[in-house]
């Protein structure tokens, strides 16, 4: 017998999902996929990679549901899983870029050629171009600063909630935000 799930809290749905209820899990994912996508996209700076990482996040959440503590927020836990996937991706991406540079002895493929850059600038509106610069600048931030910035500024979490997700203090989040904004400002002014 399938019980109604639409009025249940995240934690109740997670509890049902822990017992193998795929519909409850799909409802959880449906509720939070946009939030998690924005988090991953801002962290990575690339929408295609963000979709792939989002899928990896969902798989990991499903496979590790037995570890979820129902006394905590499901969304905070899922954000932590997503951040871990982003960190892993960033490490892999840096390593692959380094290896390809060693083998090919040419600049990273992630850097557009001057002709490609000119074409992008001509074809995009000024706002789109600035957003792309912002995405790149955010993606280039060190993980400590990027995570605090995305969780508070983009996702709208309070510093206290971000501290809980990052397993640190509110003061540490505040410091990381200040440094992230300084680095972003410097980076955007030099673009």
Q: Residue 45 has what pLDDT?
A: 87
pLDDT higher than threshold 50 for residue 190: yes
Whether 104 and 34 map to the same domain: the answer is: yes
Q: Residue 159 has what pLDDT?
A: 84
Whether 72 and 44 map to the same domain: the answer is: yes
Query: Mind listing the pLDDT tens digit for each residue in 2-28?
Result: 445 568 899 899 999 999 999 999 999
Domain stop point among 85, 110, 135 = 110
pLDDT higher than threshold 80 for residue 170: yes
- Domain assignment of residue 172, given as a range: 112-191
In this prediction the pTM is 0.58
* DSSP H or E segment with residue 102: helix 74-104
Query: Mind listing the pLDDT tens digit for each residue in 63-96?
Result: 999 999 888 899 999 999 999 999 888 877 765 5
Whether 88 and 118 map to the same domain: the answer is: no
Lowest mean pLDDT among 69-73, 87-91, 126-130, 156-160: 126-130
- Domain total of the chain: 2
- Look at residue 1 and tell me if it is in a domain: no
Both tokens of 11, joined, read: 């934690």
Task: Pick the more confident residue, 81 or 46.
Answer: 81
CA angle 90, 142, 48 (to 5 degrees): 35
Lowest mean pLDDT among 71-75, 99-103, 159-163, 180-184: 99-103
Taking only Cα atoms into account, the Rg of the chain, rounded to an integer number of angstroms, comes to 19
C-alpha closest to that of 57 among 86, 94, 28, 24: 86
Domain stop point among 87, 110, 133 = 110
Both tokens of 36, joined, read: 């998690």
Compute CA distances 37 → 19, 70, 130, whole Å: 26, 23, 20
- Look at residue 98 and tell me if it is in a domain: yes
- Look at residue 3 and tell me if it is in a domain: no
């Amino acid at each position: 017998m399938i019980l109604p799930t639409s009025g249940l809290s995240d934690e109740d749905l997670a509890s049902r999902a822990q017992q193998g209820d795929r519909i409850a899990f799909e409802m959880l994912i449906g509720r939070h996929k946009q939030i998690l996508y924005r988090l991953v996209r801002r962290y990575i700076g690339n929408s295609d990679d963000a979709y792939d990482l989002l899928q990896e996040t969902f798989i990991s959440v499903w496979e590790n549901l037995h570890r979820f503590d129902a006394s905590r927020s499901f969304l905070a836990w899922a954000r932590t899983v997503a951040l871990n996937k982003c960190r892993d991706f960033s490490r892999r991406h840096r390593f692959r870029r380094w290896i390809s540079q060693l083998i090919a002895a040419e600049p990273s493929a992630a850097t557009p050629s001057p002709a490609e850059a000119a074409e992008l600038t001509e074809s995009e509106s000024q706002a789109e171009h600035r957003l792309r610069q912002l995405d790149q600048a955010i993606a280039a931030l060190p993980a400590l600063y990027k995570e605090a910035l995305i969780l508070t500024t983009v996702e709208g979490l309070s510093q206290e909630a971000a501290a809980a997700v990052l397993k640190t203090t509110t003061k540490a989040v505040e410091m990381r935000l200040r440094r992230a904004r300084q680095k972003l400002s410097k980076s955007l002014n030099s673009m």
